[in-house]
Structure 1
């Protein structure tokens, strides 16, 4: 059951995402204003080019701190470099981080590997431009891309990643966990929407034997050697069980992972209803992990 406060604030009547609704979903993306980004003058921002990838760079108005690469959500088919940043700008204003948000190419026009290549290119650009060893973070589809970028950095010899922060991450194209089958309607991202997103990214290969872990990180046979990891997800989310499984496999490989399953949280609850009590708890817990990982 969805947390009552969140259910009262979030539109749960939106139809599932289907291929014919992708353009409609893109058009409905929330537009984050300049005023929201600057947070009463505590944050500055600039548009830059990361070797062909447009990026938005947010910096604190004071002395800039360590970097974060944040990858936006949108089911692999929607979203922009400004998506989610009305909430995440508080990382910049309160923790002093420098946040880089790439505008990766979207499926189905640009299937795998285009989205993850753009994100990895951004990581390499950061390493060459004074923003080395970031925490790599992402929300939903961006959480899956952040996990994939971290795997690429491990397997391809860098650049260095200080940690990965995966929020309700989209990790497994097979869509066969209990939670993937559990939520068919009545919540913000349902099984049909998930299948649409994965099929846009992978086409007929979705669910088959040859999907790369750089497309679907849950496919990675080995999760050893990863940096400190934070994973969180709502209990009312199709991604709940794959997120829990990913954290468990990191532990089994001897790694460091912190996992939170927020009771009553639907997909994206903390960004859709940022003032709800559960959302505030989730954001504060993430920020505490970020502070430890970046500064201790």
Structure 2
């Protein structure tokens, strides 16, 4: 038994499946890297008053990685958002699923930094998470970003990386974040929740896909005792002292229960968390079906939180 998909969303699943099949095995990584690649950024930015520049910075181990800085038509230091893209840790790029994040530049005047973190399995843990953390520290040094209004954000696998970066920033005396935005985050490599078992071969990103992603990142360590909470934040035992969090997730997807559990753990640690569980929502429905009523409601709630957190 599993929760039903929202009727409006269910109608679009057949289209989504051509780009993002429900079950992803290692043999499909190459296909996913082609099908989930972002559109040319010039097309995405057409008609928007946003300036783009690409920079090279030192990622994990000092290796060069690319970040893009997207700035509004404004002067002076602005609030900043460091963003980690979706893609199951194995595919996607720094412009994947970026439409909503670009809206933050236009609506709230933020400077958006999006990072080309390196992908598993070619680059296993700790490379992706340390690339994201290095980009966060790099963003905090940009003169156009206000140090007191810096937010970490991510979607799906990027949401898990963002949560891990927030933990690392706390533990390493890093940037003092004003918030962490965790969209349907990938938090737990153990696959032990009820929602993980409810979705096999249906929706977007099922149990097998999740095992594929975590195995690509962690190898034989997946599910064992030695996984870092910076890689799988659900393993963190101390969530005190973290910035305010926004978490959203569909009720009809595997990440439902681990997202709810992470919000609960933040509350039990005395933290500030806002949680939205969208009835009938499959994974990343705001990316794949942004025109639907449920996705529009999700986007409104998220934007309201960002506006509140970034306000003076």
TM-score bracket, normalised by the shorter chain, equals: over 0.9
With structure 1 as the length reference, what TM-score do the two structures score? Answer: 0.96
Tell me which residue corresponds to 2:68: 56
Tell me which residue corresponds to 1:46: 53
> Of 89, 102, 122, which aligns to 2:102?
89
Give runs of aligned pairs for residues 6-17 of structure 1, distance below 5 A. Answer: 6-10=9-13, 11=15, 13=17, 14-17=21-24
With structure 2 as the length reference, what TM-score do the two structures score? Answer: 0.92
Any stretches of 5+ residues in structure 2 without a counterpart?
59-63
Note closer, same or farther for the CA distance 1:15–1:9 as it changes in structure 2 (3 Å cut).
closer
Report the Cα offset of residue 50 of structure 1. 2.6
Q: Is the 8 A contact 1:36 1:86 kept in 2?
A: no
Tell me the distance in 2 between the aligned counterparts of 1:65 and 1:74: 28
Give runs of aligned pairs for residues 6-45 of structure 1, distance below 5 A. Answer: 6-10=9-13, 11=15, 13=17, 14-38=21-45, 40-45=47-52
Tell me which residue corresponds to 2:140: 127
Tell me which residue corresponds to 2:61: none
> Of 68, 71, 76, which aligns to 2:89?
76
Tell me the distance in 2 between the aligned counterparts of 1:93 and 1:265: 27
Note closer, same or farther for the CA distance 1:9–1:61 as it changes in structure 2 (3 Å cut).
farther
Residue by residue over 1:22-69, the C-alpha shift from the partner in whole angstroms, topping out at 9 and shown as x without a partner, is: 111111114233355425132221111233220111111234630001
The number of residue pairs the alignment matches comes to 296
Note closer, same or farther for the CA distance 1:99–1:208 as it changes in structure 2 (3 Å cut).
same
Query: Aligned-pair RMSD on alpha carbons?
Result: 1.4
> Of 226, 229, 232, which aligns to 2:245?
229
Q: Is the 8 A contact 1:12 1:186 kept in 2?
A: no
Tell me the distance in 2 between the aligned counterparts of 1:36 and 1:3: 31
Tell me the distance in 2 between the aligned counterparts of 1:82 and 1:246: 27
Report the Cα offset of residue 94 of structure 1. 1.2
Q: Is the 8 A contact 1:87 1:274 kept in 2?
A: no
Greater CA deviation, 188-197 or 6-15? 6-15
Tell me which residue corresponds to 1:275: 291
